[in-house]
Chains A and B, each alone.
Chain A
């Protein structure tokens, strides 16, 4: 039935991310077989599960660090093109693809700060050389961000001169400097000494208070997931076992596998 062109249309709430039918195998091992997930804008989603459950792969696919064998990833309603990984050094990446992925930021388990640059230089690298910001402006913004995570004094240190917790805070600031609308956290506390975990979690907790940024947090820290996330997706062997509001999930997990996992994790 045709509708009048000027009739008001129903617009569904915007999904920041929409993954549809993603399949991914690594050397014959199937990691994801038809994985689908919608993430509304502003949501703080905790992606949890044992090792090998595929949760990190999901993040890497969204970030464009892996290429799905099949399926689609939409970011704010636009389908993301895949990087071409033909070469052995740097994947081929057309400018249009980079442009579309620009709202995405990612923080890694092993920080991956540029070893040849100071903390400040790490933060201003992309604002200056990717966004084309004037250096003075980028420095000012970077110093303010470093200050907000208590690292202004260490701006001129090299990564190897910083503790793990300090490096991870710099890495978070480096991602924030590009003003991402979607932030991916991949086990960001997993390689930190226990006493350094709190300082990194405090930073993320503060970020989570800003509900304009969509966050997907892959973590083993159940207490943290419970506190920060508003939705929990529990994965096992590449499939979603349970998908529930965080409070409901932690109060009373429905699936026996979720219950077993939570009992082990706590």
Chain B
């Protein structure tokens, strides 16, 4: 038991380094992905056919292909045509584009779920379309987006492990390396699972807190 304990102690700092990278990538990617989701989700509902069509192409392209292949494409093929990006930029951009495409459907669905009467009320108050969107639709659609976005965030944490394949020393990369150099395969992967779970669960709790504050449930709690 003595040795088990010391091995764990020896592994933890290196794994935590990897965990910090994983969390950093997640937190840098999430806002970019959310922004892309919002833009693409709105674009799909645009009056301008070309804008809506561009959004469809983007969403279907990134939803319909493998994230791993997208990563490899960005990492290995783009340099061939003269676009050199750092592994971090490549990783974050690819993850954001991929998750933004899924997120856009969440945005679109939440906007379409706002009752038609809310839009009509805004129209007979002579609001311009941009204001209807900004002041009536989005404030009511955002709470409905929170739970599915929370889901996406947890998915994102797990998806960052793929970046270990493009040389980023994230948690999965560090774990793999440690398993091979120390031979403590079971131990390393158990710790890896526990750390991923801890990160994901912390984010889940954070999103729940947001939901309690702003979510659809908050409005029910305030009812008579």
- Which listed residue (B121, B127, B129, B140) contacts A129, Cβ 8 A? B127
* Inter-subunit contact A93/B47 (CB<8 Å): no
- Which listed residue (B121, B126, B223) contacts A98, Cβ 8 A? B126
Stretch of B94-102, B111-119, B173-181, B200-208 on the interface side: B111-119
* Inter-subunit contact A84/B47 (CB<8 Å): yes
When each residue 113-141 of chain B gets 1 if its CB lies under 8 Å from chain A and 0 otherwise, what string results? 00101111111111111011101110110
Is A63's CB within 8 Å of the partner chain B? yes
Is A187's CB within 8 Å of the partner chain B? no
Please report the C-alpha to C-alpha distance between residue A98 and residue B130 in the assembled complex, in whole angstroms. 13
> How many interface contacts (CB-CB < 8 Å) are there between A and B?
90
Within 8 A of B (CB), among A46-78: 63-65
Is B46's CB within 8 Å of the partner chain A? yes
Within 8 A of A (CB), among B136-194: 136-137, 139-140
- Which listed residue (B46, B121, B222, B224) contacts A114, Cβ 8 A? B121
How many A residues face the partner with a CB closer than 8 A? 38
* Inter-subunit contact A160/B47 (CB<8 Å): no
CB-CB under 8 A from B120, the residues of chain A are 65, 108, 112
B3 CB to closest chain A CB, in angstroms? 59
B127 CB to closest chain A CB, in angstroms? 6
A-B contact sample (12 more), CB < 8 A, given A93-B123, A114-B118, A125-B125: A65-B123, A65-B124, A98-B126, A112-B121, A114-B121, A115-B140, A125-B135, A129-B127, A158-B222, A161-B223, A175-B124, A178-B125
Which of B's residues lie within 8 Å of A, judged by CB?
Answer: 45-47, 111-112, 115, 117-129, 131-133, 135-137, 139-140, 219, 222-224
